[in-house]
Structures are given as structure tokens and as C-alpha cells.
Amino acid sequence: MARGNTRPTSRDVAQAAQVSQATVSLVLGDKWQGRVSATTAERVRQAARDLGYRPNLAARHLRLGRTRTVLLVVPALTTEFFAGVYTGAARIAAEHGFGVVLYPSPEGVGPARDPFASAQAALDGVIASSMAADALTAISGDQLPLVMLDSDPAAHPAAATVNLDIADGIHQITDHLLHLGHRHYLHLAADIPSWTFHLRARELAARLATTPGTTLRTAPAPISIDGALTAALTALRNPHNRPTAVICDDDKLAAGAYKAARRLGLRIPDDLSVTGIDDLALAGALDPELTTVHLDAELFGERGMHALLAVLDGRTPDAQDIPVHLITRGSTAPPHTP
């Protein structure tokens, strides 16, 4: 047992857990599977927690040739979605002795600058959410392992990819609105040149094309409430060519559509149904509450970190898309019949 102000050592942990120092090293280095029982591993971890033991990471890193640091690159920190991605990634990283540095790229989805003197010397790998792989050349080069979140797997064969099943989310929205009887649609589309938004537009058009008598117009908008308000006002102003449903690429865009509807004297959902994607806290604050597709941002980050750990260990990451699901609330109803 450590005494006084002396920092506890691995020997102290071994004595408290009644195991060898080698066993402590295996457990705290996350190398115990297949060598130590789960019960013994938990006893070692509990002893380390009780003693307040912290491993000498600097020495360990020199032995491993790793920095145990990962960079998470996101386009911006303007929504809680990316905060959730970070939370999930950091949780898994901490369980494996890694740290995560969050880097919102100053250029958004464009080329990201290297935030270090040399990222390849400072990092073990990069996770990028909703970015293009070629935007990360300055950071990852051809040396660092790269995991792409929300990215086209075919476009980046050298990088591991983890995706949400956005295509199915669009299908769920469209099928819900078609079932309600809607035939005339406005797509309030994010004006960002990103794979995920191109995918949403393509899947929406393809799904509606299977139902005769449907119409679809597209109004591009920046992902902001004011930007969506302006675009929606223009698209909804003509009462003779007005859609009965607005499908928004993002909950913020949906909030802008709400404001536009109210300025035009339209009631949601009586005159206009509105849907979003993300299921941010904003979705429950709108009145009526927003029908939207729930994206599990924390699970997304967790899966991204698991994928990077797999690459670092020479394993093949799980390539299965993460399921999403539609949450039906008060913003959708059958179209109004005059």
C-alpha cells in the first residue's frame, strides 16, 4: 500500500490485488484478454482505482512507439451532434488509454491545416467526421491511420469508414409522408458539398420516383435557422404551387421552415408537414415537436474510435452501417383538403 504522499506504483497495485506486476501491466495496458480472467482483471482495475494509481504514460509511450493520442476533426462545433461524436470517441479512447484532441477545421469541409508542427509525429491516428478524405492530406498524409465518419467508402478505399444508415433514414421519412397521403414535396437541402447531403438528395428523389403523381422541388439553404427561413419563404410563398410537406436535411433547417410557415400564415401540420434529421434538443423545443430521424452521435463516435483501434491493431473494422430510426411527433399529418 502506498504511504503518505508517495505516488502509488504498479507494485502497490499488484500487492493490493494479490497478483504479479506482469498481470497488472497486462490489465492496465488492455492486453489481458486470453491471458487473465475477467474477474482478476476487474480486481486489478479496482485496486488501481482505490489507490489512485496512474500509469507512467510517457515511459509506456516510448516503449510502444506511440503517442496514444488521436485527432478528431469536425467541420465545426455549431451543433450538439459533433459534441456527441466527440463524447463517444473520447469514452472509448479513455478505456484504452488514449486521449482525443478535438479539432474544428477552420475551413469547414475544405482542406484542413495541420494543427501541429507535425501531426504524424504527434498522433497515432485521425478520425474525421463529415469531412472529405482529401481535405485531410496536410494532417494524415500517407502515414497516419485514418477513419472517415459520414463518408463515401468507395471514394476513399485507403481509409476505414463508419457511416450512419442515412439512406434508410430518408426512406423512413419518405414512406411516412407517402403513407399520410402527401404527394407534393419541398426538399430544404443543405448547400454543403458533402457526400452525406448528396446521398440524401439522391435517395429522396429515387424513393419519390417510385410513386406516381409525386412532385419534388429543391431549395438549397445554409445550415442555419435564418438561412433556412429565407430559402423556405421563397419556396413556399406561391399558394398555387405550394408543397404539402417539407423534408429538411437538418433540424436547424426545419426550425427555419417553421418560422417561414408562420410568417406566411401556414399552420404546422394542418397546412404543412415538416420533417428533420438529427433529433437535436431543438426538435423537442419546437411547437409542435418535430418529426425527425434520430442519429446516435455518441454511438457514431464510439464506433469511429473502435474502428481506429482495430486499424492500429491490424484488424478489419466493422463495416456495418449504424441503424437510424424515425421519431414521429406532431409536425406531420395528412395533407389538408380544402
pLDDT of 109 > 70? The answer is: no
Q: Is the model more confident about 122 or about 4?
A: 122
Q: Give pLDDT tens digits for 111-123.
A: 445 444 434 446 7
Where do the domains of the chain lie? 10-55, 67-163+297-320, 166-294
* Integer Cα distance of 239 and 264 in angstroms: 10
C-alpha cell at position 15? 500487492
pLDDT of 157 > 60? The answer is: yes
pLDDT at 103: 80
pLDDT of 79 > 80? The answer is: no
- Give the up-direction half-sphere exposure of residue 261: CA atoms within 13 A in the CB hemisphere: 25
- Please state which architecture CATH assigns to domain 67-163+297-320: 3-Layer(aba) Sandwich (3.40)
Query: Does 10-55 carry CATH code 1.10.260?
Result: yes
Domain 166-294, CATH among 2.160.10.10, 3.40.720.10, 3.40.50.880, 3.40.50.2300: 3.40.50.2300
pLDDT of 194 > 60? The answer is: yes
* Integer Cα distance of 68 and 64 in angstroms: 9
Contact residues for 71 (Cβ-Cβ < 8 A; gap 6+): 100, 101, 103, 115, 119, 123, 125, 126, 127, 139
Q: Are 70 and 308 in contact (CB under 8 A)?
A: yes
Which amino acid, one-letter code, is at 276?
Answer: G
Q: Give pLDDT tens digits for 167-183.
A: 999 999 999 999 999 99
pLDDT at 247: 98
Quickly state the pLDDT bin for 132 (edges 50, 70, 90): low
Q: Which residue's C-alpha cell is 489481458? A: 32
Beta strands (DSSP E) in 165-226 are: 184-190, 215-221
C-alpha cell at position 148? 472517415
Q: Give pLDDT tens digits for 11-28.
A: 888 899 898 878 887 787
Judge whether 67-163+297-320 and 166-294 match in fold.
yes
C-alpha cell at position 185? 414535396
pLDDT at 71: 85
User: Three-state SS for 158?
Assistant: coil
Q: Mean pLDDT over residues 233-250, rounded?
A: 94
* Integer Cα distance of 86 and 301 in angstroms: 6
pLDDT of 298 > 70? The answer is: yes
Q: Are 243 and 183 in contact (CB under 8 A)?
A: no
Quickly state the pLDDT bin for 60 (edges 50, 70, 90): very low
Contact residues for 26 (Cβ-Cβ < 8 A; gap 6+): 32, 35, 36
Sheet arrangement for strand 184-190: 215-221, 184-190, 245-248, 273-278, 291-294, 325-327
